[in-house]
Structure 1
Amino acid sequence: MPNAMSVAAAAPAILRELAFDEPVHPTHPDNSWWRSSVIYQIYPRSFRDLNGDGMGDLAGITHELEHLAELSVDAIWLSPFYTSPQRDGGYDVADYCDIDPLFGSLDDFDALTARAAELDIKVIVDLVPNHCSSDHRLFQEALAAEPGSPERAMFVFRDGAGPNGVNPPNNWQSHFGGSAWTRTLNSDGTAGQWYLHLFDSSQPDFNWDNPAVHLEFERILRFWLDRNVSGFRVDVAHALVKAEGLPNWDGRPDGCSTEGYPGYLAPMFGQKSVHDIYRRWRAILNEYDGDRILCAEAVVDPLSRLVEWVRPDEMHQAFNFAYLHHPWDAKALRSIITDSLLAFDSVDAPTTWVLSNHDVPRHATRFAIEAGLGADNQGVGLDRARAASLAMLALPGGVYLYQGEELGLPDHEHIPDKLRQDPAFIRTGGERVGRDGCRVPLPWRADEPQYGFGAGDAGWLPQPEGWGGLSRDVQQADPDSTLNLYRRALGLRKELGLGAGSLSWATDSEDTDTVVFLNGDIMVLMNMGECESYLPSGTVIAASHPGTGADGMLAPDRCVWLRPS
């Protein structure tokens, strides 16, 4: 039913005065920090290089933390910094309880967490439990051991199919291209068993049917909890347990649903017993003070399955990939937001919102490509990115930001092939361009080498020419910059309690190209159409672009927060 706001004469695209339906999401009484948090993802190798070796490091993060405090973030999430041969950006872990020398030392980590605590910023670390590096001591011991040994039981080893085991044990494919199986050599040089790797061949999957694997990761959890981390983002959280017998699968390698192959049938993802693991982990976190959290990277559909990872005794948050990939379409976006809120509310968990991360094109680039303008046309792409970001920051629930999105950075689309490092690019012979474009080192200062990322000759990936205008120092001085848009919006989000708020849709707006919702007493309008729309009466308190709403109109690809009069 509409509330007391009056309805007046219709205007183009939306109503001049608006009524709102009953909330699809009410204000939640629990004020736990993670229910309304803003968490900033740091990809350490690309954040800030303090020692000049071309690789970002922990000391560089510590050095620049004040800039993140200015964004009013609640926590930082650190992508892997563990000892690793770095064949997959550190997601191939060789030692879960130490720091790779590329990034520093445990002392550097302790200094980072101490400085973060001074700034009231929590630290969340990435945990990669599905697989490790082939350099890991446990896997090297498994390779040296005999079939059927306790060492091999830590991983998924199988005899091959066909004459003399010449074929892989099943038809599973790697996320990075090619078979998900690699054959080993026996000590006498003859062909041996095969081992499973859902990702690169240098990333063998752990065998989570083995209780010893459970104990090993419980040890790892406690190691970092004892170092005062506030939680864990769990990589590929849906993949740990595999179906008994490892049956063939002709669907997508990532387990997402396609016609005839619904994701819930994928034998390498979403098995019921995976939830027992997270119940145990939740119990471990509950032993520690400070409200420590678990966040699932669980790529499952539909939303009704995803929320199984965030039931009250399991994880606290799960990434909302439906929202991450939303098209520039008002009807679709309204549906995704509503479905997300209802699904997560059904298990009493907060919804999370995210537009970019280290695995997908930055949303400034994605929106440009979707507009049919190509990745290099950043005008419309950036306009839409700014509008989408402002709308996202007004939603109730948790928000994840990816480093550099507050600068409006696009992907680097023209990295020379010889400099690309993503295993997806390498394993497919360049057929898949990979994720390097969104992982390029950040620009900090326009007039310094590498735009202030580091003092060395070059970073681990090249930056595009012309990034000086997007550097942090230039944007700090420009009141209309994307950086200052984020600073204002994030400050208002915290001041107004929007993350802990409610959401009601404008009545009878389902067929318009303008997304209109109410959170508390703040009205949010985003024009996703091609024509201007009228704004209702009120005071604009935030706008995605300078001057938006001053003439009483909302231009396409613009968003405002309005306090109704």
Structure 2
Amino acid sequence: MTSPALDTARALPTAPGSEWWRSAVIYQIYPRSFADANGDGVGDLPGITAHLRDLQTLGVDAVWLSPFMTSPQKDAGYDVADYCDVDPLFGTLEDFDRMLERAHECGIRVIVDLVPNHSSDQHVWFQAALAADPGSPSGPATCSATAAASTASLPNNWESVFGGPAWTRVTAPDGTPGQWYLHLFDASQPDFDWTNPEVRAEFRRILRFWLDRGVDGFRVDVAHGLIKADGLPDYTPAVDGGSMGGDETDVPYWGQEGVHDVYRDWHKVLAEYDGDRALCAEAWLPTIAQTALWVRPDEMNQAFNFGYLMSEWNAGALRRVIADSIREYGAVGAPSTWVLSNHDVIRHASRLALTADSPQGEGIGPNSPGKPDPVIGLRRARAATTLMLALPGSAYLFQGEELGLPEVIDIPDEARQDPTWFRTGHQRYGRDGCRVPIPWRSDAPAYGFNTTGTSWLPQPAEWARLARDAQSQDPASTLSLYRQLLAERRTRGLGVGSLTWTDSERTDVVAFRNGNVAVVANIGAEPIPVPAGRVILSSGPLADGMLPVDTSVWVETD
């Protein structure tokens, strides 16, 4: 049995412009690090089910689950071997169905991660390609993965996101050198050939498999990939550019025009189902205007606002990205989708206090320059979230940010598992620091992640004071702040509201109104007066009518 309100919402047609995903707060669950029910050190679906009531209490509208499908786990599940089954590491399809039912009982929708750019090299298609004779119809060029004809040298100079060449050569069944295959990520993740109609038909089948089970939508990994430029021309990325193409133009393997046809096709599949099923794009593109092309009315519904996520803690930069987002997404009839942290970036409780550049995907570790001050980082993170959750549109939260978790910096070298760490010869730390299992109980083994104390990445000692039970009854805790933010956001309809900038002579504040709520973030160097009205909440203590530095406030006005 599901929540009656959610049952009704899923069954009745929705007036255009009022779909649930336009204003939803969606909580990202990284399954292997959320909760571990069987004690093997890796989180699982039963662990998620056991804690859904905690998320209901937090006040989120939906959860997004990072991959839990069958995988050899070379890239934490983003290397999928079977798109229509659950990896035993996380449980079974029956466990998934129970989790989905329980989530719906709690009034929480469920979005699952889908990885269409590449598969695992254990996928049956790629294994068939390896076993086929060179040039046969089952070869890698025509079956599952983009490949080039057998040549002595690399087909082009493309680099993997994880470091090193983006090409690997297979060995033919007779032992001779075979064809090359493209892998924009790890060598164990061959790219699909999206010019092949069989690939497109297979993903329609995969979409329907999960939609038939009742999922509410899909977050699409590397949504700006899939299609590669004709002729596979050479391309050399900027030395200081982000690995996913978010700050470079005309990359021959990112953002090609043909990828939009794929999502128009998927849009039609989702339209066959009731309940406003949603598609959200992970699309790292140079400008917000380009990202907005992914959410035109006949394509996807949401696209992560990476321009906002990567913005510096600077008032002018924030005002610009907020204004640009509302304008560009609004121009195509879509909401902006705000986000500050996820499983691929440094947690914002650390990132906002860095004093040196850290390109996306590089991570931070013991030898990184400009390591963050944890006190400043948490204060800014609370202020940034208070600002974000007052904005109209949808918002995404990453598990543990409601506890104020920082990036884990001091992970021993021998414990690291991100492919980036290995493929760059230990030059880039990668993403392990934001993926450490989260704490539930301060005095329990593995801080309540499980009952055995085993954890696939080591948890720092500071997790004890940040555990959910330690914060639950403290009105000043970060968890209490998030609960209050989400409750007030829902009650006041801020997600479906509209933003009006507040005139200010100061250049070091972000100030606007959403309905009758005045929002001010002090990003300057000195306290400023709190606006007139009744204070609803603030990210930190106020003092004598003044808003401290790195603090945000919501004020009810007439």
| Selected match of 1:98 from 85, 92, 95 | 85
Confirm or deny: 8 A CA contact 1:255 1:266 kept in the other structure.
Answer: no
* CA shift for structure 1 position 508: 4.0
Deviation per residue, 1:381-428 (Å, 9 max, x gap): 000000000110000000000000000000110111111000000101
- What's the offset of the Cα at 1:255? 5.9
| CA distance 1:521–1:371, shift in 2 (3 Å) | farther
What is the aligned partner in structure 2 of residue 21 from structure 1? none
Alignment partner, residue 388 of structure 1 = 384
Maintained 8 Å contact 1:173/1:198: yes
Residue by residue over 1:298-319, the C-alpha shift from the partner in whole angstroms, topping out at 9 and shown as x without a partner, is 1112111111100000000000
What residue is the counterpart of 1:128 in the other structure?
A: 115
Matched with 2:365 is none
Using the TM superposition, give the Cα deviation of residue 530 of structure 1 relative to its aligned residue in structure 2, in angstroms.
Answer: 0.7
Match of 1:522 among 495, 517, 528: 517
The answer to whether 1:366 aligns with 2:356 is: no
C-alpha distance in structure 1 between counterparts of 2:40 and 2:244, whole Å:
39
TM-score when normalising by structure 1: 0.91
1:287 aligns with 272
1:320 match = 305
Please give the secondary structure, in 1, of the residue aligned with 2:218: strand
Instruction: Give the match's secondary structure for 2:58.
Output: coil
| Aligned-partner SS, 2:544 | coil
Q: 2:327 aligns with which of 342, 355, 361?
A: 342
Contact preservation (8 Å) 2:32, 2:42: yes
Which whole-Å CA distance do the structure 2 matches of 1:490 and 1:115 have between them?
21
Between the two proteins, the alignment pairs up a number of residues equal to 527
Aligned amino acid, residue 546 of structure 2 = M
Tell whether the 8 Å contact from 2:302 to 2:337 is kept in structure 1 after alignment.
Answer: yes
Match of 2:229 in 1: 243
Q: Structure 2 residue aligned with 1:555, among 537, 545, 548?
A: 548
1:256 shift after superposition: 2.8
Aligned position for 2:455: 459
Alignment-derived partner of residue 15 in structure 1:
none
Give the AA of the match of 1:115.
R
Match of 1:144 in 2: 131
Does residue 534 (structure 1) correspond to residue 548 (structure 2)? The answer is no
The residue type equivalent to 2:161 in the other structure is H
Secondary structure of the 1:369 match is: coil
**Aligned residue in 2 for 1:36:** 23
Out of 62-71 and 364-373, give the one that drifted further. 364-373
Q: Secondary structure at the match of 1:104?
A: coil
1:12-49 residue CA offsets vs partner (Å, 9 max, x unmatched): xxxxxxxxxxxxxxxx9822111001000000000000
The counterpart of 1:182, out of the listed 168, 176, 182, is 168
8 Å contact kept, 2:63–2:108: yes
Residues 313-352 of structure 1 show CA distances to partners (whole Å, capped at 9, x for unaligned) of 0000000000001101101100000001100001000001
Report the counterpart of residue 300 of structure 1 in structure 2: 285
Aligned pairs for 1:4-83 (under 5 A) are 30-83=17-70
* Distance in 1 of aligned mates of 2:372 and 2:457: 18
Shift in Å, 1:466? 2.1
Contact (CA 8 Å) 2:64, 2:112: kept in 1 or not? yes
* Aligned mates of 1:468, 1:245 — CA distance in 2: 54
Which residues in structure 2 correspond to 1:418-429 (within 5 Å)? Answer: 418-429=414-425
Kindly indicate whether the alpha-carbon contact (under 8 Å) linking 2:132 and 2:173 is maintained by their aligned counterparts in 1. Answer: no
Q: TM-score, with normalisation over the residues of structure 2?
A: 0.92
Contact 1:366 1:375 in 2 (8 A): no
Choose 399-408 or 451-460, whichever is displaced more: 451-460
Query: What is the CA distance between 1:147 and its match in structure 2?
Result: 3.2
- Find the aligned partners of 1:95 and 1:257 in 2 and give their Cα distance: 29
User: 2:332, 2:156 → 1: CA distance?
Assistant: 36
Find the aligned partners of 2:191 and 2:462 in 1 and give their Cα distance. 42
**Structure 1 residue 157 displacement after superposition:** 1.6
Unmatched segments (≥5 aa) in structure 2: 1-14, 358-368
Q: Corresponding residue for 1:270?
A: 255
1:256 and 2:245 matched: yes
Q: Distance in 2 between matches of 1:490 and 1:457?
A: 32
Q: In the TM superposition, what are the counterparts of 1:210-229 in structure 2 within 5 Å? A: 210-229=196-215
Contact 1:47–1:403 (8 Å) recurs in 2: yes
Give the corresponding residue for 2:486.
490
In the alignment, which residue of structure 1 is the partner of 2:149? 159
CA contact (8 A) 1:376 1:413 kept: no
Farther-moved stretch of structure 1 (125-134 vs 499-508): 499-508
Structure 1: which 5+ runs fail to align? 1-27
Which residue in 1 is equivalent to 2:364? none
| Letter of the structure 1 residue corresponding to residue 31 of structure 2 | P
Higher relative CO (Cα under 8 Å, sequence separation at least 6) belongs to 1
Whichever residue aligns with residue 147 of structure 2, its letter is F
For residues 536 and 385 of structure 1, the distance between their equivalents in structure 2, rounded to whole angstroms, comes to 22
SS across alignment from 1:368? coil
Provide the rounded CA distance (Å) in 2 between the counterparts of 1:275 and 1:254. Answer: 22
Give me the whole-angstrom Cα distance separating, in 1, the residues matched to 2:253 and 2:372.
37
